[in-house]
Amino acid sequence: MTIEINATHDPARRSWVESANQPDTDFPIQNLPFGLFRTGDHVRGGVALGDRIVDLAALLETGLLTGTAAEVAQAAAGRTLAPLLACAPTAVSALRAELSELFREGGRGDRAALEGVLVPIASAELLMPLKPTAFTDFCTSIDHIKRMAQGAAPLAAMALPVAYNGRASSVVASGTPIVRPNGQFAAAPGSSDIRFGPEPMLDFELEFGVWLRDGNALGMPIGMAGAEAALFGCCLVNDWSARGIQFFESILGPHLGKSFATTISPWIVTMEALAPFRVAARGRGEGEPEVSAHLHDPADRSHGGIDIELTAELAGQRIVRTNLKELYWTLAQMVAHQASNGSPLERGDLVATGTVSGAAQEARACLAEITFRGGETITLPDGSSRTWLQDGDTLTLRGRAQAAGYVSIGFGECSGTIVPAKGAA
């Protein structure tokens, strides 16, 4: 399913909400991502515009939305965005078009009435947009795999998108404190001295995620076109990693080293908003196997990638700069492969890419790569050094979709602060 460029992507379009016209805003009028927020004890859905949130429930009360747009706004105005994901793509597009018209300079919106539906983002608590029905974390960067394997990538990682089924119950919104997990680990690499206690090698992973609007019945695979159509919108993902626990336990795959917390950015940036930033998928080089037939699609090869610059900051210092377009596998390939054995995906599933590392040194997207598994350190602005994350550290991910001739858009912060491990109750 190819999303066409339309008036909502017009780079000349400006909003009468002045903050939406600032060049550094994540939320220009060309974006219009959906989210869930709270003021006082009132939780409801909204759309980000500059430094404001369009309160959809309040907007419905003005009567300025009618027909399909009003129906979709109603689905997105409640205490979860799950009903929004059930809306047809054309219907969601109709709401985005109406919002763009109401809030653009020279549009038909009644500014006097619309001023009252805008809530400052700074005065709201941003929440999880919905509870994921399931969470799958892939490992789709060949550069990450090579560095972690300390050599050539395994053939399987070049032949299929490797993944594990994560823990949906520990997915949390940006700003949620991250408790250092307890677990078992070796006192030193190769040591037989096995200890239980606070994780000594706490790491982050800069990832990207997509929310699914549709799934498949048990036993029924999804083709590539169906997988692309199932993509609703995207967010940033930090799959926190307890490396000591992970390295010790990984016989069947990740378990407690990964299940303690995964942070996501709170806004869902729609696939429609990302249409201008689609690029060709990564090709295959010498010695790399051709894409398997069940994951090959000409449309995906031509525009399955997305040009999104991703960064990570620790203590206010940028330590990672990478790009989503460098991934070995596309979002649609991940979804199609997950369902290729008939495993049922569901509306509201969250699928993550795994660590988005690139070939460049600055594109190493986790501390295990940056510090060569703890063999080196990085120096922070205050003069302190890090090999792994310490208690009190705040790690923040950001993303910017970019393309010549279009207004760049962002995702908001994906941030978490490490707090000390807890004792058993």
Distance CA 405, CA 314 (A): 32
Residues 106 and 142 both lie in one domain: no
Residues 110 and 186 in one domain: no
Q: In terms of domains, do 276 and 323 share one?
A: yes
User: Checking phi first, is residue 348 left (phi over 0); if not, alpha (psi -120 to 50) or beta?
Assistant: left
Does some domain include residue 425?
no
Task: Write down the pLDDT at residue 149.
Answer: 85
Marked catalytic residue, from 144, 294, 296, 303: 144
Q: Report the half-sphere exposure of 150 (CA within 13 A, side-chain side).
A: 5
Segments of 332-382 assigned E as strands: 350-352, 378-379
Residue 257 in any domain: the answer is yes
| pLDDT, mean over the chain | 95
Are 96 and 144 within one domain?
A: no
Its sign, for the CA torsion 237, 243, 247, 248, is negative
Q: Is residue 345 part of a domain?
A: yes
Q: Is the pTM of this model over 0.85?
A: yes
Same domain for 217 and 68: no
Position 198 in a domain: yes
Q: What percent of the chain has pLDDT over 90?
A: 90
Domain count within the chain: 2
What is the 8-class DSSP label of residue 268?
B
50 and 154, same domain (yes or no): no
Q: Which band of pLDDT confidence, cut at 50, 70 and 90, is reported for residue 2?
A: low
Is residue 34 located within the same domain as residue 183?
no
Confidence at residue 267, expressed as pLDDT on a 0 to 100 scale: 98
SS3 of residue 417 by DSSP: strand
In the chain, what is the greatest distance between 2 CA atoms, to the nearest angstrom?
71
What is the residue range of 298's domain?
A: 135-419
- Catalytic (active site) residue 144: yes
Distance CA 131, CA 170 (A): 10
pLDDT in tens, 95-149: 999 999 999 999 999 999 999 999 999 999 999 999 999 999 999 999 999 998 8
Residue 274: CATH number of its domain: 3.90.850.10
294 domain-assigned: yes
List Cα–Cα distances, 158 to 136, 304, 327, 328, 343, in angstroms: 19, 17, 11, 8, 22
CB 118 within 8 A of CB 55: yes
- Backbone φ and ψ of 33, nearest 5°: -80, 155
Share in percent of the chain as helix, strand, coil (round to 5)? 25, 25, 45
Q: The domain that contains 72 carries what CATH number?
A: 2.30.30.230
* pLDDT of 346: 97
Burial label, 344 (beta-carbon count in 10 A; 0-12, 13-18, 19+): middle
189 pLDDT band, cuts 50/70/90, is confident
- The residue from 70, 97, 127 where one domain ends is 127
Specify whether the CB–CB gap between 404 and 213 falls below 8 A: no
Q: Which two tokens stand for residue 388?
A: 């792994």
d(CA 351, CA 339): 12
Tell whether the model's pLDDT for residue 1 goes beyond 60: no
Three-class secondary structure of residue 370 per DSSP: helix
Q: Are residues 113 and 145 in the same domain?
A: no
Give the end of a domain, one of 105, 127, 149: 127
Residue 262 is inside which H or E element, if any? Answer: strand 262-264
Q: For residues 130 and 173, what is the distance between their CA atoms, to the nearest angstrom?
A: 10
Question: Does 77 share its domain with 214?
Answer: no
Q: Span 342-357, mean pLDDT?
A: 97
- Tell whether 83 is covered by a domain: yes
CA gap 113, 100 in Å, rounded: 16
**Does residue 33 belong to any structural domain of this protein?**
yes
- With 0-12 CB in 10 A as exposed, 13-18 as middle and 19+ as buried, what is 357? buried
93: phi then psi, degrees, rounded to nearest 5? -60, -40
Joined tokens for residue 252: 């069947």
How far is 203 from 183, CA to CA, in rounded Å?
A: 15
103 and 139 fall within a common domain: no
One domain, residues 198 and 215: yes
Closest CA to 308 of 184, 220, 206: 206
- Rounded to whole angstroms, how far apart are CA atoms 9 and 30? 5
378 φ, ψ (degrees, to nearest 5): -115, 150
Query: Is residue 277 scored above 80 in pLDDT?
Result: yes
Is residue 1 assigned to a domain?
no
Same domain flag for 145 and 92? no
Q: Could you read off the pLDDT of 6-46 as tens digits, one per residue?
A: 999 999 999 999 999 999 999 999 999 999 999 999 999 99
Cα–Cα dist 153/341, whole Å: 24
- The residue among 127, 153, 173 that closes a domain is 127
pLDDT of residue 151: 79
**pLDDT tier at 4, thresholds 50, 70, 90:** confident
DSSP 37: E
